[in-house]
Amino acid sequence: MSKHNFPALRTVATVFKILAWIVAAASVVAFVFLLVGGGGYGVGIGGNRIAMAFAVLLGGAIYTLMLFAVAEGILVLLAIEENTRKAAEK
């Protein structure tokens, strides 16, 4: 049998981690974009661009943490399965 069971789940966890880093980078870029000027695309109704920038940063941080949590949750379940298998073999 292969070294690791459920390779697709390990791949899914890796994809979630990559998506988390992409979301983090995109939210930082959007934050800077909004602080610098927003390009006049209607962001920050009433001139509240700074609050909008921090809201984007906070939303990106929360979403990043959720993606990392899902990835780590999958890896924890895989570790539990692996440890249970080892204990049963003894």
**Tokens representing 41?**
């695309």
Q: Which residues contact 82 (CB under 8 A, 6 or more apart)?
A: 4, 5
Angle at 33 between CA 31 and CA 39, to 5 degrees: 140
pTM of this structure: 0.82
> Per residue in 49-89, pLDDT tens?
888 889 999 999 999 999 999 999 999 999 999 999 999 98
Q: Which residues contact 62 (CB under 8 A, 6 or more apart)?
A: none
**What pLDDT sits at residue 43?**
54
Angle, nearest 10°, between helix axes 49-89 and 7-36?
Answer: 170
Domain regions of the chain by residue span: 24-79
